[in-house]
């Protein structure tokens, strides 16, 4: 069966051209069917070099929610915005999933409003997949809920555990709580109280994990509030990029090192692919009555393509 | 003038041998004078191969505060612990500064109790120096205060700004508030309220910074609560390590790449030095009536040496 996805084509810091380019790549490399939601004229321009239109459709909308708008207000007011209409398409069953690189708070608000929450979920959240030295792990929440209560962190654990089971085929995902020390006394009030709830739950909770443990890959799921999770996600991307730049600077200082780099180039390319966030493309919205993927505002065509796939 | 430092020799996850080894390196490479505070017998063993004892002294204590003890309770109860006695030496003017790699909460509690706070400071904190693509920056707080109010973040800004002026000779350090988006509406409640205070202050506040901006080096100071700051610090160290391991794995997969690595080896060594947290050694405790440096629990001899220097 062909999967049909609604793509909020107006979202993303890089503009519709980048998003549409990702969509074209995705249909070229797979049998996906994609509905671009956004301004018809703008999208026609972005699609002008693409002739084979049978698997890319356009649904016209007149409004856009920008990155700095207040999510709930914007979703209420802009009923003809690309994200609200994309959610409608999913709700009506015209597509099976939606992808957005726009204002993630607004995507979440539109999805909650349009699709509703799963039973027992008070706060749906965004999960993200982290590369580690072993298997990739799932971190939740990475940005939907910036002020949380302990029950929310427990629910993130339940949802991310379920996602990890399906996505990575793990029977009993090991769940860690992000904190600043392994001891139960370490952490802020939210983390200490959340730890008690996780310990009493039927989840396979293995205790606190520190920032430095994330990349060891000794847990399958890391639970945190959406503020901390989002800071971590962006810090990781920024650091991975900075590390490559610093290394390049050092290599460029010497002829010998440059020669060495040429010989080792393939290893560098493989490595870059491993730490490149665009390889996973997006994070799933968990806890909703429907399938949604949030991409980064900065997503390039490659990231959009991988999120779609 | 020779600077005399009290070193809590029982602190640190790697044990007294590593701490003492750092002290020996420091006196060998500089004219520092160091008083090791800890168990006499244990330190004699660690010092056995070191003959030139005129600049390393020992003050005997019978108690140790371990990493998992509750800071305030432990400091109250263990009056003969190495950190409490080290603070006493500083208070009495017998040394000019103290360094500890032990339980950082206990170090902070002992220092506040023994030395007192500077005027107008409600919460002293720990600053940390981050390497960036440009100049190093100062981040505060990185672990002393896990539950903060907006006034505390404002004070971290004031203290870290003063430290940045002195340490890096910057006239008007640019201050950023760690958040999850540049817009003033982004962030959790603490961050949004702290932003208002920072904006009204006479500090050179330039707005929110995201995790990915840290390494660009476009700010001189980053303000955050101690939970987020500590997670970031440990995440950065863990990621820098993981990145090197992943790269090594890729290089080891091919003979050509290994050859290339040999040629570029010096560049790799320089790079490692740049991102190695042990090069800065420790973070200063700011807001106290006295000079204290906190090191990582995991500090090795090199980190201890650099913190002392």
Question: Residues B210, B128: contact at Cβ < 8 Å?
Answer: no
Q: What stretch(es) of chain B map to CATH 3.40.718.10?
A: 1-116+288-309, 125-277
Separation of alpha carbons A119 and B195, rounded Å: 37
For residue B144, give every residue at least 6 positions away whose Cβ sits within 8 Å of its Cβ, in sequence order, or none.
B104, B105, B108, B123, B124, B125, B126, B226, B285
Give the separation between CA A33 and CA A42, rounded to whole angstroms.
Answer: 20
Kindly report, residue by residue over B146-171, the tens digit of the pLDDT. 999 999 999 999 999 999 998 889 99
What pLDDT does B281 receive?
Answer: 59
Q: Helix H segments across A58-188? A: 71-77, 82-91, 104-115, 150-168
Which DSSP helix (H) or strand (E) runs through B220? none
Interval B82-103: pLDDT, tens: 999 999 999 999 998 888 888 8
- Interface touch A67/B227, C-beta < 8 Å: no
- DSSP type of residue A209: E
Sheet holding B33-38, edge to edge: B56-60, B33-38, B4-8, B97-100, B291-295, B282-286, B125-130, B137-140, B221-223, B175-178, B205-209
| Strand extents, DSSP E, A116-268 | 125-130, 137-140, 175-178, 205-209, 221-223
Q: What is the pLDDT averaged over residues B279-287?
A: 76
pLDDT digits (tens, 9 = 90+) for A189-231: 999 999 999 999 999 999 999 988 888 889 999 999 999 999 9
Contact A19, A7 (CB under 8 A): yes
Give the H/E segment covering residue A59. Answer: strand A56-60
Considering only the beta carbons, identify the residue of A243, A260, A264 that sits closest to B243.
A243
User: What local confidence, expressed as pLDDT, does residue B193 receive?
Assistant: 96
Q: What is the ipTM of this complex?
A: 0.86
- Of residues A59, A159, A66, A50, the one with CA closest to residue A107: A66
Check CB contact of A149 with chain B, cutoff 8 Å: no
Q: State the alpha helices, DSSP H only, in A92-149.
A: 104-115
Instruction: Name the phi and psi angles at B178, rounded to 5.
Output: -70, 120
CATH domain B1-116+288-309 topology: Isopropylmalate Dehydrogenase (3.40.718)
Instruction: Verify whether the Cβ–Cβ distance A246 to B189 is below 8 Å.
Output: no
Task: Compute CA B98 distance to the chain's CA centroid, rounded to the nearest angstrom.
Answer: 12
Residue A136 has which token pair? Answer: 């990739």
**pTM of the predicted model, to two decimals?**
0.87
- From CA B295, how far away is CA B304, in angstroms rounded? 7
Partner A contacted by B107 (CB < 8 A): no
> Average of pLDDT values for A112-134?
88
Which range, A181-190, A287-296, B263-272, has the best average confidence (pLDDT)? A181-190
The position carrying tokens 């809920």 is A145
Residue A102 or A145, more confident: A145
Q: Tell me the average pLDDT across A120-133.
A: 88
With CB atoms and an 8 Å threshold, state whether B231 touches A241.
no
**Which pLDDT does position B263 carry in this prediction?**
78
Contact status of A145 with chain B (Cβ, < 8 Å): no
Residue B278 has pLDDT above 60, yes or no: no
**CATH T-level topology, domain B125-277:** Isopropylmalate Dehydrogenase (3.40.718)
| Residue A257 pLDDT | 77
- Predicted confidence (pLDDT) at residue A300 exceeds the cutoff of 80: no
User: What is the rounded radius of gyration, in angstroms, for the C-alpha atoms of chain A?
Assistant: 20
> Is there a contact between A35 and A4 (Cβ–Cβ < 8 Å)?
yes
- The answer to whether the Cβ–Cβ distance between A260 and B261 falls below 8 Å is yes
For A6-26, what is each residue's pLDDT tens digit?
999 887 778 888 888 888 888
Phi/psi class of residue A97: alpha, beta or left (left: φ > 0; alpha: ψ in -120 to 50)? beta
Torsion of CA A78, A80, A61, A85, to 10 degrees: 110
Q: Where in chain A is the domain with CATH 3.40.718.10?
A: 1-116+288-309
């Amino acid at each position: 069966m062909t999967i049909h996805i609604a793509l909020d084509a107006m979202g993303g810091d890089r503009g519709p051209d980048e998003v549409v380019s990702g969509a074209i790549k995705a249909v070229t490399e797979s049998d996906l069917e994609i509905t671009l939601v956004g301004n018809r004229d703008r999208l026609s321009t972005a699609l002008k070099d693409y002739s084979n239109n049978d698997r890319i459709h356009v649904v016209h909308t007149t409004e856009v929610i920008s990155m700095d708008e207040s999510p709930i207000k914007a979703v209420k007011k802009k009923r003809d915005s690309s994200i609200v209409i994309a959610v409608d398409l999913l709700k009506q069953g015209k597509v099976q999933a939606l992808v957005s690189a726009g204002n993630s708070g607004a995507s979440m608000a539109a999805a909650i409003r349009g699709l509703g929450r799963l039973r027992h979920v008070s706060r749906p959240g965004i999960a993200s997949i982290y590369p580690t030295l072993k298997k990739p792990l799932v971190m939740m929440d990475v940005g939907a809920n910036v002020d949380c209560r302990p029950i929310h962190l427990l629910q993130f654990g339940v949802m991310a555990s379920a996602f990890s089971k399906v996505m990575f085929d793990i029977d009993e995902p090991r769940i860690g709580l992000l904190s600043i020390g392994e001891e139960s006394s370490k952490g802020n009030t939210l983390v200490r109280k959340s730890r008690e709830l996780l310990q009493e739950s039927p989840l396979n909770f293995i205790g606190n994990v520190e920032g430095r443990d994330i990349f060891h890959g000794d847990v399958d799921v890391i639970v945190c509030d959406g503020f901390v999770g989002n800071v971590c996600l962006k810090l990781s991307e920024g650091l991975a990029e900075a590390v490559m730049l610093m290394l390049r600077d050092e290599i460029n200082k010497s002829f010998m090192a440059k020669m060495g780099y040429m010989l080792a180039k393939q290893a560098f390319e493989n490595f870059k692919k491993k730490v490149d966030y665009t390889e996973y493309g997006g994070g799933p919205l968990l806890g909703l009555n429907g399938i949604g993927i949030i991409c980064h505002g900065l997503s390039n065509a490659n990231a959009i393509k991988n999120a779609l796939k």
